[in-house]
Structure 1
Amino acid sequence: MNDQAQVHSVKPDDDDEINLLDLAATLLSYKKLILRLTVGAAVAAVLFSIGSLLLPREISYLPNLYTPRASMLVAQQSGGLSSMLSSSGLGGLASLAGISAGGSSNGELAVAIARSNTTVDELNDEFDFTARYKIKKSYKAETRKAFLEKFSASLDEKTGILSLSFEDIDPEFAMRVVNRTVEILDRRFMALGGSKAMDQKRLLETKLADVQSGMDGLQVKLQEFTTRYGVLSVEALATEQVTVMARLRAELIMKDIEIENYKKFSTIDDPVIRRLRSERDSIATALGEVESGKSGVLPSQKEIPALAFEFATIQRDLLVQTEIFKLITQQYELAKMSAEGQEPSFQILELAEVVDKKSGPSRGMICVVATMAAFFLAVLLAFVLEAVKNIKADPEAMARLKGNVR
């Protein structure tokens, strides 16, 4: 019983050995077929590759491709000055000056701009990709698609380096496309925020000039007011007017008393009485002119409220303009600091150049892959042919096949 078990346990290994021998025998019997197909595929792949090299690149079915590359450093965060101002308690003033206190990433923005329809359309206007790639329908959409298939914009998050590349059979053309894209990015970054601090500084300079002009006008009005009335405030003007009127009224009363006293001693209209009356009339006239404002020196009592309002308005406007000037001056100093200390968010590290080494295709790899594929197909074909041969040699199998066919 044990011997039978041992025989049965060895039988599967014998079957495996027989199967492996059958496989080896099959490969050996079809070795010429396998060799011919493999060598033929290898030769065909080599001839295919050589033929693609001999033809001009414009009509070659497998031309060399060149990929020039440009590198830019894109600042991942901006706002260092604003952070410093915020930490020092000037964050509110910085926000008034238009300086953001938070950082912002520019890398994704640069990639988005480089791949945007606006950029692609501008490049197409200059290089005419539509005609170059022989696009016959849906011109804009297909041109953008064809360009983006050959264009690459990648960002290294760690270093902040943006790489732009373009693949084409003409290395000089590809170089010009990449460098033109860099120029567009540089211009767009300047427009979108690269010169924000400088723009803010120029705007504040204009505002400062406007406010200064308004202050100068108000100061001229105030000077004219004080020159006209000889005082620095309406209160002083009113006080002076009251003082003059009181003095004239006192003189008028004293002159009336003097006339009455003199009449007690003289009953005739002598020259002294006429002189005293003339002096009294002069005082009364002067008092009337002061009260009516006709003296040309002091305004009338009715004009005092209007003058007080005018003077208060001038003073108020001048005070407001002065405070505005102080605030804008502070904002201007912040903007000037930001403009002087701001690092550029987009720096060109290296422009693309005409490359002399192709980026593809790998003809050697094509030959290797074609040869290996032909070898495996030849092996598969050998097993198929051997299986067909075995079926034909087996009457029972042929009978079953014929029965199935019927």
Structure 2
Amino acid sequence: MKPENAKQYVEDRDGEVFLLDYLIVIMKRKWLIFCMAFFAAIIGGVYVYLQPNIYTATVRVLIPVKSDSGLSGIIANAAGDFAGAILGGSSAADVYKGILESRTVTDRLIDRFSLKERYGEQYMESTRQKLLKNTKIEGGEGQIISISVKDEEAQTAADIANAYTNELDRINRNVNITEGHLKRVFLEKRLEKVKDELLEVEGRLKGFQEKYGLVALEEQAKATIEGAAKIKGEIVLAQTELEVFKKFGTVRNKEAVRLESKISELTNQLVQIEAGTNGGELIRRTGSEGKMEANFYIPFNELPSLGLQLARLTREAKIQEEVFKLVTSQYELAKIEEARDINTIQILDSAVPPDKKSGPQRVLIALLAATAGLFIGIVAAFFREFMANLKDADPDRYKLFVRYSPVHRSKV
């Protein structure tokens, strides 16, 4: 079909547009479309050919899991809960990613590898953005994170990736040292407090025992009861003899007087044993060296109270002693943890210089450029067809459009 016939065919359909109309325009301007796509592919190919090769090096590290046993684990968990509250419940991988992307780490890498000059940037902020753009940090399964770095040189890419792990280990080590120091200081203060509390309880227990003459409460209570029973028996026996003398013997009044005196003395001794006082003072006896010692007997009326107080003081002393032992052991562990030098991360795969480039993908870029040129060529073809139809249908409007459109200078 000739162009004139095609034009007449389109007009006869009263403005209806079909797919065939578009195909006719494309076939009519096929050389324009082909040239646009061809030159776009050539330009894209030349551009991507001039771009340097890009290499990607990757390092994988394992985040260590700390032990949560003992008092140190409790303290570490408390610190972890506090950090988790601040970070909004972030995982360990997210925390380490935040550390790696921090200004402290990026600035050290920029200074170490002279990235400001290498990237051709004038400002530190733009250099940081370029470095972060060339770095990809991903959290894998479990506690594994990978760090990938892109650079024009394979060795430099590997060096920067490994330097990330060095900086992560350095910061994590400083944090752990600070944490160990805080643990040790906390336990040291706690140990001093527990020690003072233990000495205070032991002092009260000693004073209580000295005040009431307590050596062995059970044995002393038993001796008190047996002593009182013996004296009570002697009193009953003396009273019986006295009654006999009073009824059947009057000539032996001296013996009756002696018995009465004995009964009075034994009664006083029994009262002293039961009450534990003699003129308001505790019963005392003279020791072998002439010193006053606490009486071995305990007053009956004070046995329950003294037993309860002694049990409480003894229990409190044992509790404080156990706490002192526990805190002392944890304090020694904290000192060891503070002093030891360990790696805070484990490197699973160190970054090595890659032997194959990761970019640019020259063929793909050239195809994309050709596709873009093809699209632009089709748009240009339809625009030229529109201008040709406008010139034939309305020459005045065409001339007006050309006058105010410097872009459309060529003859259609």
Which TM-score applies when normalising by structure 1?
0.53
Deviation at 1:298, TM superposition (A): 11
Match for residue 174 of structure 1 among 152, 157, 168: 157
Deviation at 1:26, TM superposition (A): 1.7
Q: Are 1:117 and 2:94 matched, yes or no?
A: no
Question: Could you tell me which residue of structure 1 aligns to residue 272 of structure 2?
Answer: none
Question: Could you tell me which residue of structure 2 aligns to residue 65 of structure 1?
Answer: 54
**What are the equivalent positions in structure 2 for 1:93-242 lying under 5 Å apart?**
94=71, 98-100=75-77, 105-136=91-122, 139-156=123-140, 158-193=141-176, 196=179, 200=183
- Aligned equivalents of 1:337 and 1:382: distance in 2? 82
Gaps of 5+ in 1: 1-10, 53-61, 83-93, 216-232, 237-296, 300-319
8 Å contact from structure 1 (residues 79, 100) kept in 2? no
Question: Could you tell me which residue of structure 1 aligns to residue 244 of structure 2?
Answer: none
Question: Could you tell me which residue of structure 2 aligns to residue 89 of structure 1?
Answer: none
Deviations 1:316-344 (A, max 9, x none): xxxx999877534313445778989xx98
Question: Could you tell me which residue of structure 2 aligns to residue 398 of structure 1?
Answer: 395
8 Å contact from structure 1 (residues 179, 352) kept in 2? yes
Label 1:116 to 1:380 Cα distance change in 2 as closer, same or farther (>3 A). Answer: same
3-state SS of paired residue (2:148): strand
Deviation at 1:33, TM superposition (A): 2.0
Identity %: 26
Q: Are 1:81 and 2:65 matched, yes or no?
A: no
- Aligned equivalents of 1:95 and 1:403: distance in 2? 87
- Aligned equivalents of 2:138 and 2:350: distance in 1? 15
Question: Could you tell me which residue of structure 2 aligns to residue 330 of structure 1?
Answer: 326
Label 1:35 to 1:200 Cα distance change in 2 as closer, same or farther (>3 A). Answer: same
- Aligned equivalents of 1:18 and 1:144: distance in 2? 55
Label 1:385 to 1:363 Cα distance change in 2 as closer, same or farther (>3 A). Answer: same
User: What letter corresponds to residue 132 of structure 1 in structure 2?
Assistant: R
- Aligned equivalents of 1:403 and 1:67: distance in 2? 57
Deviations 1:250-306 (A, max 9, x none): xxxxxxxxxxxxxxxxxxxxxxxxxxxxxxxxxxxxxxxxxxxxxxx999xxxxxxx
User: What letter corresponds to residue 395 of structure 2 in structure 1?
Assistant: M
- Aligned equivalents of 1:403 and 1:195: distance in 2? 79
Label 1:120 to 1:401 Cα distance change in 2 as closer, same or farther (>3 A). Answer: closer
User: What letter corresponds to residue 30 of structure 1 in structure 2?
Assistant: R
Q: Are 1:42 and 2:41 matched, yes or no?
A: yes
Deviation at 1:173, TM superposition (A): 1.0
Deviations 1:182-217 (A, max 9, x none): 0111122122137856984798699989x99xx9xx
8 Å contact from structure 1 (residues 201, 332) kept in 2? no
User: How many residues were matched structurally?
Assistant: 273
Which TM-score applies when normalising by structure 2?
0.52
Label 1:96 to 1:145 Cα distance change in 2 as closer, same or farther (>3 A). Answer: closer
**What are the equivalent positions in structure 2 for 1:221-300 lying under 5 Å apart?**
none
Deviation at 1:79, TM superposition (A): 5.8
Gaps of 5+ in 2: 1-9, 85-90, 199-209, 214-288, 292-315, 405-412
- Aligned equivalents of 1:46 and 1:185: distance in 2? 41
Deviation at 1:390, TM superposition (A): 1.4
Question: Could you tell me which residue of structure 2 aligns to residue 309 of structure 1?
Answer: none
What's the C-alpha RMSD, in Å, of the aligned pairs? 4.9
Deviation at 1:68, TM superposition (A): 0.8
8 Å contact from structure 2 (residues 61, 346) kept in 1? yes
8 Å contact from structure 1 (residues 68, 354) kept in 2? yes
